[in-house]
Amino acid sequence: MPAQDERELRIVGFLCNWCSYGGADTAGVARFTQPTDLRIIRVPCSGRIDPLFVVRALLNGADGVLVSGCHPRDCHYAEGNFYARRRLEMLKRFLPITGIDERRFEYTWVSASEGQRWQHVVTEFTRRIHELGPAQSFNPATQEEWFNLALNEASKGEACACHGS
Amino acid sequence: MAKIAYYPGCSGQSTSLEYDLSTRAVCRALGIELVDIEDWSCCGSTPAHTVNHVLSAALSARNLALVEQQGMDTVTTPCPSCLSNLRTAAHKMEDASFRDQANALLDTPCTTKIETLSVLQVIAEQVDAETIRAKVVRPLTGLKVACYYGCIMNRPPALMQFDNHENPMAMDKLMGLLGAEVVPYPLKVECCGASFGVPRVDIVTRLAGKLLDAGRDLDADAFVTACPLCQMNLDMRQGQINTALKENFRIPIFYYTQLLGYALGIDDKELKFNKLCVNPRPVFKKLSELKEAAQAG
Amino acid sequence: MRIGVFICHCGSNIAGTVDCESVAELASGFPEVVYSTDSMYTCSEPGQEGIITAIHEQKLDGVVVASCTPRMHEPTFRRAVERAGLNRYMFEMANIREHVSWIGKDKEHNTNKAADLVLMAVEKLRRNRPLVPKSFETIKRVLVIGGGVAGIQAALDCADGGLDVVMVERDQSIGGKMAKLDKTFPTIDCSSCVLGPKMVDIAQHEKITLHTCAEIEAVSGYVGNFSVTIRRRATYVDWTKCTGCGVCTEKCPSKRSPDVFNEFMGTTTAINIPFPQAIPKKAAINPATCTMIQKGKCGVCAKVCPVGCIDYEQQDELINVDVGAIVVATGYDLFDWHKYPQYGEGRYPDVITSLQYERLLSASGPTGGHIKRPSDGKEPKNVVFIQCVGSRDRSVDRPYCSGFCCMYTAKQAILTKDHIPDSQSYVFYMDIRAPGKGYDEFTRRAMEEYGAQYVRGRVAMIYPHGEQLMVRGADTLAGTQVEVPADLVVLATGVEAAQGAVKLGETLRVVPDQYGFFVESHPKLKPVETNTAGVYLAGACQGPKDIPTSVGQGSAAAAKALGLLSKERLESDPAVSKVNLSRCVGCQKCIGTCPFGAIKAITDRQGKLKAEVIETVCQGCGICTVTCPQGAIQLEHFTDNQILAEVNALCPPKMNASFE
Amino acid sequence: MERFITEANLQQFAATLAGKKHVLAPVASGGTTCFRRLVPGMRLDFSRMAVISPKDATFPRNETLLLVQRYVEESGKKLELKEQLPEGECIVIGSRPCGARGKLIFDPVYETEAIKDPYYLRRRDNTLFITLSCDRPESTCFCHSVGSNPADGTGSDVLLTAVEGGFFARAITPKGEELLADALFEEAGTRAEEAAAKQTKARELMGQAHDFSSAAAKLLERFDDMGFWQAQSNKCISCGACTYMCPTCYCFNITDDEAGLVSRRLRSWDNCMSHTFTLEGSGHNPRGTKAHRLKNRVGHKFSYYPDLHASQIACCGCGRCIKQCPAGVDIRQVVMAAQEYVDER
Amino acid sequence: MSQLEELKAAIRGHLDSLDCVIGWEQGYDPLHATPLFIRNESDLERLSISPLAVHNPATYATGFAGKKIGMVVRGCHSRSIIELLNEKLIERENVVLFGLCCDGVVSQRKIRTALPADPGFVEAVEIGDDALHITLAGEKTTIKLQDVLADKCRICAYPDPLLADVLIGNKHDSRPEETLACQEAFEAKPNAEKFTFWQDTMSRCIRCYACRNVCPMCVCQDYCIAASRDPLWMSQENSPAENFMFQMIHVSHLTGRCTECGECERACPVDIPLMLLRRYMNKQVQEVFGHQAGTSLDKTPPLLTFQVEEARIKERDW
């Protein structure tokens, strides 16, 4: 687990109770070793996961956000993951315009029996986030960063009438 | 029809000369243009890979590199053993570190993946059935043949990716197109004894004898093979088998290309029936008798 | 709020890789935490008592336990805090075992992670509020899907317990696979003699309504109040009149129908009663082979029927029924052995399945109980049994053991010897799995008393050799190749999930595993429950099972249904959605996305449209909460605030940032 | 004290100051001009009136009042509370007279016998205004109608007037004089006259002032006439552009944020045009519609505030609320409509 | 009869049966228009439909719930109306639509850039067929309309109202397909640049919510989650991250619903180019769901429905 050797990054997981949380439990019961960066928030269904939770986490400074639900057709609530798939897909596709690397967000499906798959997903996602490194804070963290930001923009001038940059 | 590189293999220069010649003739007749690989060398055959995988792969890779240099991406060979070696080498060299090791042994490295196909696969997949049927001038109507593929033509299935590995049908279908009656031969992919022919003739005679026995049970007039080694074990050693097993087999063993060529009307000189050990004449006799009977009836 | 935090060591399960004491110490500084401690086994009696005492002594009004997964012990601890007078929803769990201690070995990282998870739980708990369940009446009727032995047992037990039962069977008769068996192991007693009376009981029980040729079309509602639509296929025979006299089947000129009951060994008439003991003993027409239905010519059965029950115009019928609980007993199907090229892929007629052999052995079978091989009707002398055809084989995606093949193969070897005393059986096997009562003794008898030759190894190929089949395999004990000439080869084909199980699972909201078997609520502690309350599993639909286990599970499922419906009223989970009427702008988007129809539109006093949740129908998925842009409809116990509090605890925004 | 400074030197002066102190100045970026913290390297933009007023200097859009940190020590759990009083000096360069004067509206509210807002007072006392007088009024300007003029120095420490080659600078306060002592300022020479002429011309361009003296009473008369207010607020979209742009709006909101182990008490601008401004805990809202809210905003500035504070209109006439309103609501017209209202019954 | 007169006549015929008709009139100066709520003949006289009349009347539609109103709508405005109808937020029988076949409206920002001095100093405006003649501080400047056309008009695919009870003007045969170079250029920038751009741009936002309140599709009215304490999605902190969070809320709630009327960007007092976000999201919606909000009646917004097999959502496997 290379991720463990480095400084931990902040990875938020949103997991549905019935499949993916169970899958993470199964991985635990089987003692499938995983990197420790991820912290899991349990929700009843992937249909409960508002894409804005993901955005909130990213803007708060999360380095990665992982969402996992039941495989399509296997939703405990019949349709939750169908809605989730649309919502999360749109979020994933939208992120590039914000400049937030869309690789920091991923959504996937893991069933309660797929402990091994869960281990794989966590390991791979954590590896990816470590490759991307710590996320840049949206709010400049120091006065110096504020200054740099201001100058950076100021130096750009008004190249484009549409949005001044 | 597209051009395709042609790897004849060593046995095609000697023991199975008739296989090589009939293959060339048949392909010409079917519009498949075979381009010989210049300066080709041995594929490593059966012994090389038992000693060293890298060296064995390099032997094959040299030929693949030549194909690459001739500006082609696919090569065909009649011999299943060559096929197996060439495909194995190409497959192993998909692994970068293995490729580097093998290429280090070559003057000119092999950089792209060259596809190797058996001539049988090329005919089965690239020539449609109607074309063949239309070109038949000497149908094999009434001839009962057992198609024997040998053990490595389709194995391992993941590598060969052609036909059913337990019950291949490519030759059966081809012979069917020529009008032959194909018997449901159950031992299509059984081992003939292969290269035990030199050290343990007893094994070959036992195994090959069983193959012939199963064909006789089904009343087969002839065997059709696609492998030089199989053909040799069944044909050349039929006498030894008869001696060892106290049998009296007299079953001609053809290469499928020979019978295909015959049906297409290719001159016997190119098909070299005279190279066969078990006299094939009874077969042709039967065919002409049947033809006469049919015309009379 | 006064929060108590309890960190569980779980023996060394957690404490081995998490510093529980420091987690407890860190937690003492978390907001509104007034009490924090660690204990060896929090779920144990003294552990729970410790929580209760702390609630009393520290005047706690919220509790966090950091231990195993909430999917395991959340109900346990909820009951504990309830015993101490708290509302069960004033409790949160942090999963520091499955999600921390068991998956990582770095103690420092694990300890930090555990503390984070506890902080998240505390932050969520601070936004919890007491929730009180609603109660509702239950319907005292059970739906049993599948009329095999498991379903039959469940139905009889429920009916005997006083519940109305509706049984739905896809085939024409109940009885399932067991009805096709000749004898059963390890007692060699007659299968239909044991099962027959139970089938009759189903037909005669005043509390049981039976629908055969029927399938489940749709299911809605919730535990205690399911609404089920059953589709009954047209049988073209009015069963209210049919007496099962069988005249029609004798006279029917179309004899091309595949004989399903006899496992496709031969054909039967287009109008047919599958077997003499069929329940219900009624005739049905196979429309695919009936000349009247296909071509409009014939009509023989209508002419000969003494009661005039033939109706060529009959249509499928939809039946609606309300039930309180559902028992799923849809059984299994056989693996399609044609996927194995080495067994001939169907080219050799004398390679048959074990269930086909069962029909050959059966006195009611196509050969009248005389073993005759399909190719030429000769009596086989050498019979080769091949085990694990479609079991324990990754290459065909069937890695699991089908469980009972070893036993029935031993039985069939014994029966072969009984039928043909001069016969010789050979059994190619991988391992013999005979863990039941009297099972191992039984297999030994097959070998020792009946002389069955057991060969440990796989069969590589079957090929015809004269009139016989040559079976070539490995004898791994002798280390040699063996070839056995066989007159008949019987394949112990493995067990697969029943056809259509996945689709039925979608209808019932019961999840199938990757092979199509339904997933139980807990592999050990809830083997017949599913994750959908009020839906229970019986028999092989949950995984391969032999008869006694299936019967046992049928009874277990019945006990669960009886227990559930013994209550006059049930309580609904109060963790359902709730509308903040002042925030709701009446856009009705939530009504559109709710999968359960649990939200309806109402008009408030000012005449404005608002949404309202029907609490007993709401399943608590939260799709509506995400749908609502105003955040006006909130899923209780998983509100935006609660989840956001967890996010904020996990990635706190910088509070002391300078503003430019 | 009167001095002169070239434009280049003014930029230099500002940049030097910015290296030492918190300087707030109009800067063009992203196609707009706003007051923002000047960072050495940025240029001041005097070409137009900044969209957002310089109110941030004395009354920032948000400020942390209190920080709370939780932690555990050997001795037990600890809670640390830290008051966040503003520190340091701030200099506003390039405000207009209306903006500089507008901040005076705050004083009667935040510095009374009973209440002294320490956060506000500290900022006010530590902020200097170098104001640029206007040479040409915009169509939305009406400072002359609320008791001011384009060269009003009230509330400023230095008043600049654009003249040939640079700016004529006049110190208004002693602190302003200290600023002008900088070596970048030159002798004013005869530029005082040039500046005076410019100022007179600017005032002339504004034309006749409107008389708002009857507004206080007239608006009160319309207090219960919701029909009037509904008509006036038809196009209002109830956003906060007007209040947040306004140099005189002083309402604030206090909210507590908490996340994990840190909490904060935050003061931020509030907006009386928002539904939540007067939303009560019970769910009742005395100003439930945009008509109620527009009535309050206009009434407060032209009637209720003047009533309490010596007839001072709580509007500096900068016109930002008119110019930036997405729906074109014009506060002058609303007040005039009340003044001119004739009861037709 | 001019188009204006034609329109006035049409409105006159409906005035009695309607609570009001929403159009435009001149605003605080000749360069700016403002919404006009027509209730009588004298209101009607002030009606203006020049390219300066930019406001989307659909913004006000839900505020008149239960009343019957008329609206003068351009192509993009009609899309907003259709989307509101599709979401059952207004009723068809309660709106009378006076459609204007639209040749585009101006961008005040572009006018400001094109003028030699601040448009605050405008004295007179004369509107020609294809140009504006603006008198500014005593000097006359001519600007070609084409040069100051709003971006949304340059790429407008629906200049003619898609839904109208009365249609004024000549329908457009075809529109030249244009793309917005600056949109594409921005999208093509590396993440780091886009990130910095939004950081800085969002530091300018004062969270006045003009973009939200002017948006015809923002129907939460007074109950936006950005301003509520329960649920508590956002701090009142006016920082780039919180400001951006609000924009994310807005984008998220508009997914598949935005009709690209451009009002958010127009209303922004500090000129934040919000349409960069809108257009990008709309492009994704178009790609994945083949959906364009407000272009046909009886379409459900894509996030309020689903398909079991999503043809254009690829499962990313691990």
The DSSP result for D62-113, as a single string, is: EEEEEEEEEEEETTEEEEEEEE----S-EEEEEE-HHHHHHGGGGHHHHBSS
Nearest alpha-carbon partner for E269 in D45, D32, D44: D32
- Pick C652's closest partner by Cβ from D37, D60, D259: D259
Q: Whole-prediction pTM value?
A: 0.74
Q: What pLDDT does C197 receive?
A: 95
Q: Does A151 touch chain C (CB under 8 A)?
A: no
CATH topology of domain A2-134: Rossmann fold (3.40.50)
Find the helix or strand (DSSP H, E) in which C55 lies: helix C45-57
**Which residue does chain A place closest to C220, by CA atoms?**
A78
Best probe of the B interface among C345, C348, C465, C472, by most B CBs < 10 A, is C465
Mind telling me how many Å the CA of A136 is from chain C's nearest CA? 13
Query: What CA–CA distances, in Å, run from A92 to A89, C391, E142, E195?
Result: 5, 42, 46, 16
Residue D302 CA to residue D316 CA, distance in Å, equals 11
Q: Does any domain span residue B219?
A: yes
Q: CA of E295 to nearest chain D CA: how many angstroms apart? A: 25
Do both E35 and E168 map to the same domain?
Answer: yes
Contact call for residues C24 and C38 (beta carbons, < 8 A): yes
Residue E118 sits in a domain whose CATH number is 3.10.450
pLDDT at D26 over 80: yes
Integer Cα distance of C557 and C144 in angstroms: 10
> What pLDDT shows up at residue E165?
97
Q: How far is CA C646 from CA A41, A43, C86, C651, in A?
A: 7, 11, 22, 9
The minimum CA-CA distance between C109 and chain D, rounded to whole Å, is 19
Of the pLDDT bands very low, low, confident and very high (cuts 50, 70, 90), residue E177 is low
- The structural domain count of chain E equals 3
Residues in chain A: 165
> Torsion over CA of A116, A117, A120 and A122, rounded to 10 degrees?
-110
Whether B14 and B149 map to the same domain: the answer is no
pLDDT of res. D345 = 64
Residue C475 has pLDDT above 60, yes or no: yes
E272 and E136 housed in the same domain: no
- Give chain E positions within 8 Å (CB) of D235: 34-35, 37, 55, 60
Domain end position, chosen among E97, E127, E148: E148
* Mean pLDDT of the residues in chain E: 94
pLDDT of residue A155: 43
Tokens of B223: 């065997």
Average pLDDT over residues A141-153: 80
Structure confidence by residue, pLDDT tens digits, C446-459: 999 999 999 999 99
Query: Given a contact as 3+ CB pairs under 8 Å, which chains touch C?
Result: A, B, D, E
Per CB-CB distance under 8 Å, the chain E contacts of A55 are: 245, 248, 252
Query: CA gyration radius for chain E?
Result: 20
**Cβ contact D331:D310 at 8 Å:** no
Residue C658 has pLDDT above 60, yes or no: no
Cβ pair B81, B155 in contact under 8 A: no
Q: Are residues E114 and E101 part of one domain? A: no
Quote the mean pLDDT of chain A. Answer: 88
Q: Which residue from D29, D39, D43 is facing A164, i.e. has the nearest CB?
A: D29
Q: Phi/psi class of residue D82: alpha, beta or left (left: φ > 0; alpha: ψ in -120 to 50)?
A: beta
Return the closest-CA partner of residue C195 out of C143, C156, C239, C142.
Answer: C156
- Provide the pLDDT for residue C572: 85
Percent of chain C having pLDDT more than 90? 90
Q: Would B154 be classed as within a structural domain?
A: yes
pLDDT at A153: 59
Q: Are residues B89 and B216 both part of a single domain?
A: no
Q: Are residues B165 and B245 in the same domain?
A: yes
Least CB–CB distance from D235: residue in E34, E208, E269: E34
Count of pairs with CB atoms under 8 A, one residue in A, one in C: 168
Is B146 in the same domain as B252? yes
CATH of the domain at B90: 1.20.1050.140
Check whether A118 has a pLDDT greater than 60: yes
Cβ of residue E139 closer than 8 Å to a chain D Cβ:
no
Neighbours of chain D (3+ CB pairs under 8 A): A, C, E
pLDDT tens digits, B83-115? 999 999 999 999 888 999 999 999 889 888 899
Facing residue for C582 by CB, picked from D70, D76, D283:
D283
Using the structure block, give the residue that is written with the tokens 């379903």.
C151
D31–chain A nearest CA distance, Å = 5
Residue B48, domain member (yes or no): yes
Specify if B129 maps to a domain.
no
Residues of A in contact with C657 (CB under 8 A): 139-141
Distance from CA of D243 to the nearest CA of E (A): 8
| Mean pLDDT value across residues C496-522 | 89
Overall number of domains in chain B:
2
Average pLDDT over residues E253-273: 96
CA distance C503 to C509: 10
Does the pLDDT at position D331 exceed 50? yes
- Please check the confidence at residue A159 and state whether its pLDDT lies above 60: no
To the nearest 10 degrees (0 to 180), the angle between helices B96-104 and B80-92 is 120
pLDDT grade, residue C659 (50/70/90)? low
Where residue B255 sits, what CATH number does that domain have? 3.40.50.11810
Its domain, for residue E124, covers 108-148
Q: Which residues of D touch E214 (CB under 8 A)?
A: 237, 239, 326-327
Q: Give the C-alpha separation, E141 to E138, whole Å.
A: 10
Per the CB < 8 Å rule, is A162 touching E182? yes
Helices within chain E (DSSP H only): 3-14, 41-45, 75-86, 108-114, 145-148, 151-154, 181-188, 191-204, 210-213, 240-254, 263-267, 275-289
CA of D41 vs chain A CAs: smallest distance (Å): 7
How close, in Å, is residue A90 to chain E by CA atoms?
Answer: 7
User: Which positions in chain C touch E239 (Cβ < 8 Å)?
Assistant: 657, 659
Contacts of A152 in chain E (CB under 8 A): 196, 200
Contact: E29, D253; criterion CB under 8 Å: no
In a 3-state reduction of DSSP, which class is residue C19?
A: coil
Residues of E (100-159) whose Cβ lies below 8 Å from A: 109-110, 113, 151
User: Which residue, of B88, B120, B152, is where some domain finishes?
Assistant: B120
- At D163 the pLDDT is 95
Read off the pLDDT of residues E187-241 as tens digits, 9 standing for 90 and up. 999 999 999 999 999 999 999 999 999 999 998 989 999 999 999 999 999 999 9
What residues does E11 pair with on adjacent strands? Answer: none
Whether residue B215 contacts residue B209, with contact meaning beta carbons closer than 8 Å, is answered with: no
Instruction: Report the pLDDT value the prediction gives residue C522, as an integer from 0 to 100.
Output: 77
Residue ranges per structural domain of chain A:
2-134
Domain match, E298 and E250 both: yes
Q: Do A153 and D27 touch (CB under 8 A)?
A: no
In a domain, E172, yes or no: yes
Which is nearest to C223 in space by CA: C564, C652, C574?
C564
Cα–Cα nearest to B90, from B166, B31, B5, B19: B5
Instruction: Show contacts of B48-56: CB within 8 Å, 24+ apart.
Output: B48/B85, B49/B85, B49/B88, B53/B92, B54/B98, B54/B101, B54/B102, B54/B105, B55/B105, B56/B85, B56/B89
- Same structural domain, B116 and B146: no
Global ipTM: 0.78
Tokens standing for residue D193? 């006259």
Contact yes or no for C432/C449 (Cβ under 8 A): no
Distance CA D195, CA D168 (A): 7
Does residue B65 surpass a pLDDT of 70?
yes
Residue D135 predicted with pLDDT over 80:
yes
SS3 track for B105-142: CCCCCCCCCCEEEEHHHHHHHHCCHHHHHHHCCCCCCC
Do the two chains E and C touch, given a threshold of 8 Å on CB pairs and at least 3 pairs? yes
C631 touches chain E (CB under 8 A): yes
Is A42 touching C (CB cutoff 8 A)? Answer: yes
Buried b (16+ CB within 10 A) or exposed e, D186-219: eebeebeebbeebbeebbeebeebbebeebbebb
- Which residues of E fall within a CB distance of 8 Å from C587? 87-89, 219
Tens digit of pLDDT for each residue in C303-317? Answer: 999 999 999 999 999
The answer, yes or no, to whether C and B have at least 3 beta-carbon pairs within 8 Å is: yes
pLDDT exceeds 90 at position D16: yes
* Residue C51: pLDDT band with limits 50, 70, 90: very high
Report C:65-94 residues touching E (Cβ under 8 A).
Answer: none
In a domain, E318, yes or no: no
For D246-257, the DSSP string reads -SS---EEEEEE
Q: Cβ separation of E121 and D49 shorter than 8 Å? A: no
| CA angle, residues D248, D249, D251, in degrees to nearest 5 | 140
Contact E164, E98 (CB under 8 A): yes
pLDDT band at C513 (very low <50, low <70, confident <90, very high): confident
Q: Tell me the mean pLDDT in the region C457-486.
A: 94
Average per-residue pLDDT in chain D? 94
Q: Give the pLDDT confidence score for residue A1 in this predicted structure.
A: 33
Residue A6 is predicted with a pLDDT of 62
Residues 6+ apart with CB under 8 A from A7: none
Distance CA D92, CA D80 (A): 34
- Does chain B reach chain E with at least 3 CB pairs under 8 Å? no
Dihedral sign (CA E63, E65, E69, E70): positive
pLDDT of residue A157: 42
Q: Distance (Å) from the C-alpha of residue C87 to the closest C-alpha of chain A?
A: 20
Beta bridge partners of B182: B145
pLDDT band at A165; cut points 50, 70, 90: very low
* Distance (Å, whole) CA A17 – CA C419: 56
pLDDT score at C521: 81
Chain D residue closest in CA terms to A148: D39
Can you give the residue range of the structural domain that contains B103? 3-120
- What is the mean pLDDT of the segment spanning D113-127? 95
* Residues C332-344: tens digit of each pLDDT: 999 999 999 899 9
- CB-based contact C539:C550 (threshold 8 Å): yes
Residue E317 lies in a domain: no
User: Is C29 close to D259, i.e. CB distance below 8 A?
Assistant: no
Among B120, B148, B164, the domain boundary falls at B120
- B293, exposed or middle or buried, with CB in 10 Å at 0-12, 13-18, 19+? exposed
Residue B151 pLDDT exceeds 50 = yes
Is D31 in Cβ contact with A154 (below 8 Å)?
A: no
Q: What total of structural domains would you count in chain D?
A: 1
* Distance in Å from the first CA to the final CA of chain D: 60
pLDDT, average across residues C171-193: 95
Quote the pLDDT of residue A2: 35
Within 8 A of B184 by CB-CB distance, chain C residues are: 347, 464
Q: Which residues of A touch C103 (CB under 8 A)?
A: 27-28, 31-34, 36, 119
Task: Provide the 8-state DSSP code for B85.
Answer: H
Structural domains of chain C ordered from first start:
3-125 (3.40.50), 143-229+320-331+498-565 (3.50.50.60), 247-304 (no CATH), 334-496 (3.50.50.60), 577-636 (3.30.70.3270)
User: Percentage of residues in chain D with pLDDT exceeding 70?
Assistant: 100
